[in-house]
Amino acid sequence: MIRRTLQLMAMGACLWATSSSQLEAGEDCLFFRTDALLLNRTQRSDTPLVRQNAPGNPILDTADSLQFPYEGLPRFVFGYQKDQSTFEVSYAGMVDWYDASSVAGVNNLSVPGDLGLASLDYFAADLFDATYSSEFHDIQANYYRSLNGGDCCTGSCFDVEGMAGLRVFLLDEQFTLSPTDVDTGNQSLYRINTENHLIGPQLGLRMTASRGNWSFQAIGKAGVFANPLWSQQSVSDLNDTISLRNVRTTDEKVAVIGDLEFVSRYRVNSHCNLRFGYLFNWIEGVVLPTDQIDFSNNVTSGTSTDASGFLQHGFVFGFEAIF
């Protein structure tokens, strides 16, 4: 539904722009771009979650059981080009990226570590359910300046642009692990929430080559960001009637974001382009809930803020209207 709405908005903008006067090469131009991104995510977390009571390999872990499949999200870009300078403001966001997994047994499933031995519901359970959800918002304001004097607002060109900008990346995630004892009906919850608030400058390059109705863009950018963050853990037991853990930790990390995007564009007319391509988005220095899982049972349990990272990558489909 969201992607369809974006397509209709962009097509309407293209039609509106087409009805205006024709652009001449060298004129200033205002543009609006809307993309549907289809992203997948890869991360390094490999934490055992559930074992059988007898010694053996974990039968539920974060590496194989909780992965983020391809999911769609919108991206909007508003921009203005004057002479050899371009200013762009963009937003992309994923509201509910989600995966879940479960494992069943017969009074023989437990979490590893001391937490299983010190609890009732996390030892000798019949069922474990695990969930992992993620939400992010990516806001950027970037200034591009041509390094070789190309003009790619209209017409054929080859242009290389330097970029400097400001970026805000907000990441909110939650992990849950819930045991169930079929005999007693007991069901408790281990929950971890993390929030990362990245803000900082970024630099990059954009290359555009066009000939006829086709053009190609390669965009690379990277930045170093301050990341004030927090992590909160809670563990309940005995059918959610006892609290074994409820801690919140704040911290600040240095994070890095790097983007690489390749896009082909087809010019429908002088006011409208169709876009398709592929992008890579690497983020390092963020606190993810699956890296904070702690099955120990002492006064410092659940207070760590171990930083990690992940790679998002996927397809780009969109429209661009030029005014």
pLDDT at 22 over 80: no
Among candidate residues 321, 308, 194, 313, the one with its CA nearest the CA of residue 268: 321
Q: How far is CA 55 from CA 50, 58, 112, 141, in A?
A: 12, 9, 10, 54
Structure tokens at 180: 């169930």
Q: Are strands 242-269 and 214-237 parallel, antiparallel or unpaired?
A: antiparallel
Compute the average pLDDT of residues 114-121. 92
Compute the average pLDDT of residues 39-68. 81
pLDDT at 64 over 90: no
For 233-253, the pLDDT digits (tens) are 999 999 999 999 999 999 999
Buried b / exposed e along 51-85 (16+ C-beta atoms within 10 A): beeeeeebbbbbeebbebeebebbbbbebebeeee
Question: Sorting pLDDT into bands at 50, 70 and 90, what band is 305?
Answer: very high
Give percent of the chain with pLDDT exceeding 90: 72
Question: Sorting pLDDT into bands at 50, 70 and 90, what band is 56?
Answer: low
CA angle 216, 221, 223 (to 5 degrees): 170
Domain, as residue range, for 47: 2-322
Q: What is the 3-state secondary structure (H, E, C) of 161-230?
A: EEEEEEEEEEEEEEEEEEEECCCCCCECCEEEEEEEEEEEEEEEEEEEEEECCEEEEEEEEEEEEEEEEE
pLDDT at 207 over 50: yes
pLDDT at 17 over 60: no
For 258-285, the pLDDT digits (tens) are 999 999 999 999 899 999 999 999 999 9
pLDDT at 95 over 70: yes
Report how far residue 255's alpha carbon sits from residue 252's, in angstroms, rounded to the nearest whole number.
9
Compute the average pLDDT of residues 185-194. 96
Amino acid at 186: N
Q: How far is CA 149 from CA 145, 162, 181, in A?
A: 9, 12, 70
Q: How far is CA 36 from CA 41, 77, 138, 285, in A?
A: 16, 12, 14, 27
Q: Element (H or E) spanning 12, and its range?
A: helix 2-18
Higher pLDDT pick, 60 / 244: 244
Report pLDDT for 156. Answer: 61
Distance of CA 19 to the CA centre of its chain: 37
The dihedral formed by the CA atoms of 309, 312, 313 and 319, expressed in degrees to the nearest 10: -140
CATH of the domain at 133: 2.40.128.90
Return all residues near 299 (Cβ < 8 A) that are at least 6 apart: none
Question: Sorting pLDDT into bands at 50, 70 and 90, what band is 209?
Answer: very high
Report pLDDT for 14. Answer: 53
- What does the mean pLDDT of the chain come to? 89
SS3 state at 156:
coil
Q: Element (H or E) spanning 15, and its range?
A: helix 2-18
Report pLDDT for 9. Answer: 47
Report pLDDT for 268. Answer: 93
Task: Count up the domains in the chain and report the number.
Answer: 1
- 3-state helix, strand and coil shares in percent for the chain, rounded to the nearest 5: 10, 65, 25
Q: What is the DSSP letter of 134?
A: E
Compute the average pLDDT of residues 168-174. 98
Cβ–Cβ contacts within 10 Å for residue 174, how many?
17
Report how far residue 130's alpha carbon sits from residue 99's, in angstroms, rounded to the nearest whole number.
9
Give percent of the chain with pLDDT exceeding 70: 88
Report pLDDT for 55. Answer: 60
Report pLDDT for 52. Answer: 86
Report pLDDT for 46. Answer: 82
